[in-house]
Amino acid sequence: MLKAKKTFSLIIMVTLASCLVLAGCSRNNDAANKNNKSPLVGEKNEEYYMVTFHSGIEYWKGCYKGFEDAGNLYGIKTIYTGGLQYDINQEVTALEQVIAKKPAGIAVTCINPNALDAPIKKAIEAGIPVVTFDADSPRSGRYSFLATNNEYAGEVAAKTLNDQVGSAGGEVVIITFPTQQNHEERVAGFKKALETKYKNLKLVEVANAQGDQTEIAKMLGGILQIHPNIKGVFCTEATSGVAAAAAIKEANKIGQVKIVSFDTDKGTLDAIKSGVISASIAQGTYIMGYQSMNFLYEIKHGLIKSTDGSSKSSGPLPSFVDTGVSVVTKDNVDLFYTK
């Protein structure tokens, strides 16, 4: 009986010892798992913001979709916000409100190359990574700029319009936003191509796109009356392109005046499909958003380090990423509709 009690006591002691060992191993494994967590898995409370101007337009949907998809890969939260109107003060206010929330990172498109310098610098000084996309603030100290090579895109637009107008050439007009750097670069590329390659196209006016589609259409209608021999219109963004299509319809000049627009909103694609707009220059909006999110996450988590965060840095982040363009025509327009 005594021997049985001793044996039973020994079994209990061994069992307790085993439990303690297993518990210790479990704690060690939990700690190891925590320490071995993949650097590509973020925290659920991490918030990354995309900030735009005129935030309700369709163009930004592609950018944010890429931003959101990349964020989902890391398991973090992405938020979209911005100024409701095409207004400098509204976007500055929106960006400052985001900075006050102390997010993990910010991707911002800049309505004006200078207006957002101060808030972007403020964010970076506070330890918040910032990249710009689509439209830049080059002196802000942003880590990187992801966008279309807009001067090249303007050259592509000139070639496309030249192909559409034909060898006879003729007068053309540009409709653009003159205070936005990316639009100025598109105009510069277009003009350069006309001067060096497509001399049969004569630029007779550069018109400023002010107001809504109705006002822009009315403005172009007036230009068509002053210059009745216009053969082509280049619009540096989608709102003007759709407005130009309305003006051409109103003037009964569908097919006589060729329109080359920008971007791939539904209104533009529908006008291409119906033959009112001849072509549009599609930007890599999804890539802008997707890679912006990747850069922000990599900076935040120390996966890639820039020496000083400036656009002239010799660090591993490129100061500029060209996200590419393609030409949308009636032949391939169906490929660009959002599924």
Average the pLDDT over 147-156 and give the result: 97
pLDDT at 21: 40
- The answer to whether 198 and 158 have CB atoms below 8 angstroms apart is yes
Is there a single domain that holds both residue 236 and residue 259? yes
Name the residue with higher pLDDT: 170 or 317: 170
The mean-pLDDT minimum among 34-38, 66-70, 151-155, 178-182 falls in 34-38
Bridge partners of 233, per DSSP, are: 173, 259
Please indicate, yes or no, whether residues 189 and 247 belong to a single structural domain of this protein.
yes
Asked whether residue 216 is domain-assigned, the answer is yes
Least confident of 12-16, 73-77, 259-263: 12-16
Do 220 and 267 share a structural domain? yes
Which residue reads 């500029």 in tokens? 320
> Are 226 and 290 members of one domain?
no
Please tell me whether residues 127 and 234 are part of one structural domain. Answer: no
Residue 237 falls inside a structural domain: yes
pLDDT grade for 113, boundaries at 50, 70 and 90:
confident
The 10s digit of each residue's pLDDT in 25-52 is: 444 444 444 556 677 787 888 999 999 9
- Indicate whether 80 belongs to any domain: yes
248 located within any domain: yes
Section 119-130 average pLDDT? 97
* Degrees, nearest 5: CA angle 264-270-271: 95
Q: State the pLDDT at residue 307.
A: 54
Give the C-alpha separation, 32 to 41, whole Å.
16
Q: How far apart are CA 120 and CA 130, in angstroms?
A: 7
pLDDT for 26 equals 43
pLDDT greater than 50 at residue 110? yes
Summarised one tens digit per residue, pLDDT across range 254-308 is 999 999 999 999 999 999 999 999 999 999 999 999 999 999 999 999 887 655 5
32 lies in some domain: no
The count of domains in the chain is: 2
Secondary structure, 3-state, the chain? CHHHHHHHHHHHHHHHHHHHHHHHHHHHHHHHHHHCCCCCCCCCCCEEEEEECCCCCCHHHHHHHHHHHHHHHHCCEEEEEECCCCCHHHHHHHHHHHHHCCCCEEEECCCCCCCCHHHHHHHHHCCCCEEEECCCCCCCCCCCEEECCHHHHHHHHHHHHHHHHCCCCEEEEEEECCCCHHHHHHHHHHHHHHHHCCCCEEEEEEEECCCCHHHHHHHHHHHHHHCCCEEEEEECCHHHHHHHHHHHHHCCCECCEEEEEECCCHHHHHHHHCCCCCEEEEECHHHHHHHHHHHHHHHHCCCCCCCCCCCCCCCCCCCEEECCEEEECCCCHHHHCCC
Is the residue at 77 inside a domain?
yes
| Residue 252: C-alpha distances to residues 112, 235, 255 (Å) | 37, 19, 9
Residue 279 located in a structural domain: yes
275 & 180 share domain: yes
pLDDT at 4 over 60: no
Please, what is the Cα angle at 208 between 230 and 113, to 5 degrees?
135
- Residue 123, domain extent: 47-148+285-324
pLDDT band at 1 (very low <50, low <70, confident <90, very high): very low
* Residue range 209-233, pLDDT digits in tens: 876 889 999 999 999 999 999 999 9
Q: Assign residue 229 the CATH number of its domain.
A: 3.40.50.2300
To 10 degrees, what angle do helices 266-273 and 238-250 make? 40
Full-model pTM: 0.77
Residues 134, 67 share a domain: yes
Strands 325-328 and 279-283: antiparallel
